[in-house]
Chain A
């Protein structure tokens, strides 16, 4: 029996290796199918996540304030919030501290913040000039710059009173203007350290904004974690951002899924027709084997083995191409690589084998049902 089995293997192998052009056709078909399958499914996994990150350009989607009215967040609060949010989804966490100040007797609002974090949480800021990088440098809102006629590089004196009603005054260098078309245009931004030094009141923020690449239940979970980590902090969702993101992202994701579904099913049908053509060509061979006394099941099993090998080979090549393709799309669209979902490879190989087998069994079944005599005589 062992020699019989090895002969069967020999037949299948030779059938694949000595009919090279036919093998190429069938293999191309299977490889296309596998490429599309793995490429699209990988993208399906990845695109909603990547798009979610893109949506962070709308700015913060969670805001933190102290749970008492007028209360301020201390340094330990900020650290607790950061602890609660730590993870992949945290794009940035930015504290803001608002102080009423004066310049030339006119009232303004100065904001202490962390510029490195603002750039993460509010990517929509358009800064003319430089971002502050050294102590004593500030950004003016576009409207403030226009009203005061202070240009980049000029100095600006700011004075005010702190919580203990002590007067303070400090000279700053304006290094840039910020334009957003919103409230930011009317504010003066400085580094938190400068604000602390100027007011002689350390580490207090009115609110902190977080940009989180997460939606719906994910945000609710993070909210709960922050509540646990910092009980005196009140997290609030920026519904304008979260709600719109949910609806738009859901539609975009649905679009990708639907496109994938359509492309995938049509590609699989294409692969099936190709396999059918390749197998139908061999009706005469099937007839011969039957004439030599082969049972239907035996002939079918041989084709099954061939299909299995084709499917595995095509599936492997296609997996490679598919991952490459998904990577390409991810890089060129989102500028980020993607972690290959390697557990999808065996699934792809399996699916390819399945499609190949199903695609070849149907014509084989039809061929073995035909009386062998007809096959032998007919051209």
Chain B
């Protein structure tokens, strides 16, 4: 009989139940979309922040960054003389290992650099060899495309981007190109201190807004030949997706030895910038990995702020949809005071009425919730695609959260109204409202 009444009510009061299902559906879709975005926004924003360039510098243990100072202070340029020691270099053929550390998937891009002072057009000019867009086949069977092009997203190119297949094609900085009167397609001679020379063809003129504008970027083998340092590079820039630093990460960065075993495991298995740096040092012997704090710290700050912001927005959304759902349920129950009064007059107990009403509402809510979940998935993808151009990976945990929310909200939302109605005397409801 209970079932008959339930089904009858559901079928006959279609409009009211549709309304509940609709509102619950809206609430759930909102919650699903926001939770989906919330769990994924960190990764997405992290990816976006990669446009600021590398956050790790890999240099040989013996070398320091002292050389770079020569680029500053309006120096005529030319770059430092190359060291004679092989220990001041990193072997190019070992670089693929960077993609084989524990957090390999968090390594977005990396590129090696070798800078040599050359004479070109009657001036001393820094000539930097790099990978523009290198394809690597790893021993693990993975295929990787990496290189500098993606790590200099702020460069404005006039001409074609650097190409590994064009061994003599170079990118010339805007200031240098203006000074030498170079245009895309022209060639220039570069003479290295050792007497070796090469002909460079300008593929593009770039504007970086920094000191790079006074230099030339060329494919790595060309510079290695000119320098007489085959298979060697001076430094590697790595762009990695990282987790914002916390207290543990700061302590580990100071001294990994100070951690307890468990702390160490946690640290090692979290994508902190310091643990990624540590893992690269482990896999490439003889290097030091320095986090570029300008990038790494800002990333952390912006990431955690964005996440916090989205979390708060999600909480607000959940709160509001909860209130809206329970509000509607309250309205729905109030509307049915006559029906409930009648049932009481017929001798129904408070419990059985509550059960009937609640199961009706829950059934409607369930239907709405499922539909809302699907709509929410769609909304999350819509947000992901239109903002970040990629789909949002909705975590499975969203489903139980959503289901619990609907259940709790619907039940809690119904209670005050149900209590008020059960307190009514049937005659009051039936006669002269």
Q: Which residues of A contact B (CB under 8 A)?
A: 21-22, 25, 28-29, 32, 35-36, 39-40, 43, 47, 51, 54-55, 57-59, 65, 69-70, 98, 109, 122-126, 143-144, 146-147, 179-183, 185-187, 206, 236-244, 247-248, 251-252, 254-256, 258-259, 262-263, 266-267, 269-271, 273-274, 276-278, 280-281, 325, 328-329, 332-334, 379
Contact = CB atoms under 8 A, between A and B. Distances in A.
Contacts of A51: 302, 305-306
Contacts of A125: 293
B30 A248 contact: no
23 contacts: A36-B316, A54-B302, A70-B74, A180-B294, A181-B291, A183-B65, A185-B290, A239-B155, A242-B209, A243-B154, A254-B386, A263-B317, A266-B29, A267-B320, A270-B324, A273-B23, A273-B328, A274-B331, A281-B331, A333-B309, A333-B312, A334-B305, A379-B338
B48 A248 contact: yes
Q: Which of A47, A239, A255 has the most CB of B within 10 A?
A: A255
A252 B305 CA distance: 11
Tell me what chain A mostly uses at the interface: helix, strand, loop, or mixed: helix
B324 A267 contact: yes
Interface string B315-343: 01100110111011011101100100000
Contacts of A22: 331, 334
Nearest to A55: B302
Contacts, number: 227
Contacts of A241: 52, 154
Contacts of A98: 72-73
Contacts of A251: 45, 48, 387-388
A186 B69 contact: yes
A70 B297 CA distance: 33
Interface in B16-43: 16, 19, 22-23, 26-27, 29-30, 33-34, 37, 41
B207 A25 contact: no
Contact of B293 (A40, A147, A182, A240): A182
A239 B209 contact: yes
Contacts of B386: 254, 258
- Which of B64, B153, B382 is most buried by chain A, counting CB atoms within 10 A of its CB? B64
Contacts of A123: 297
B23 A270 contact: yes
B208 A39 contact: no
A237 B209 contact: yes
Contacts of A58: 52, 294-295, 298
Contacts of A332: 308, 312
Interface string B85-98: 00000000000000
A181 B41 CA distance: 27
A54 B308 CA distance: 13
Looking at B16, B22, B41, B66, the one whose CB has the most chain A CB atoms below 10 A away is B66
B64 A262 contact: no
B298 A55 contact: yes
Contacts of A237: 209
Interface in B277-292: 290-292
Given A180-B292, A240-B154, A333-B308, A273 B66 contact: no
Interface string B351-395: 000000000000000000000000000010011001110000000
B154 A186 contact: no
A192 B310 CA distance: 43
Contacts of B324: 29, 32, 267, 270-271, 274
B216 interface: no
B207 A254 contact: no
Nearest to B321: A270
B372 to A, nearest CB: 10
Interface residues of B, number: 77
B334 A281 contact: yes
A109 B64 CA distance: 14
Given A25-B327, A58-B295, A181-B296, A206 B73 contact: yes
B418 to A, nearest CB: 13
Instruction: Give the dominant DSSP class at B's interface.
Output: helix
Nearest to B38: A259
Nearest to A31: B323
A146 B316 contact: no
Nearest to A66: B74
A187 B26 contact: no
Given A109-B73, A181-B57, A239-B208, 12 more contacts: A32-B324, A109-B72, A183-B65, A244-B52, A252-B48, A256-B309, A262-B33, A273-B26, A273-B328, A277-B328, A277-B332, A328-B312
B211 to A, nearest CB: 9
Contact of A25 (B16, B52, B334, B379): B334
A250 B374 CA distance: 28
A143 B294 contact: no
A277 B335 contact: yes
A273 B22 contact: yes
Closest 4 A/B residue pairs (Cβ): A239-B209, A270-B324, A243-B154, A277-B331
B294 A255 contact: no
Given A57-B297, A244-B154, A258 B383 contact: yes
Contact of A21 (B23, B74, B420): B420
A181 B290 contact: yes
A216 to B, nearest CB: 14
Q: Which of A109, A147, A242, A267 has the most chain B CB atoms inside 10 A of its CB?
A: A267
B144 to A, nearest CB: 24
A255 B387 contact: yes
Contact of B320 (A32, A182, A240): A32
A247 B45 CA distance: 11
B292 A240 contact: no
Contacts of A254: 386-387
A183 B68 contact: yes
Contact of B305 (A25, A54, A206, A238): A54
B220 interface: no
Contact of A240 (B33, B52, B310, B331): B52
A147 B66 contact: yes
B78 to A, nearest CB: 15
Contact of A32 (B155, B298, B323): B323
A154 to B, nearest CB: 19
A277 to B, nearest CB: 4
A269 B320 CA distance: 12
Contact of A238 (B16, B49, B209): B209
A244 B53 CA distance: 9
B156 interface: yes
B49 to A, nearest CB: 6
Contact of A186 (B16, B52, B64, B313): B64
Contact of A252 (B65, B155, B306, B382): B306
A307 to B, nearest CB: 15
A70 B66 CA distance: 22
**Residue in A39, A59, A98, A244 whose Cβ sees the most chain B Cβ within 10 Å:** A244
B301 interface: yes
A17 to B, nearest CB: 17
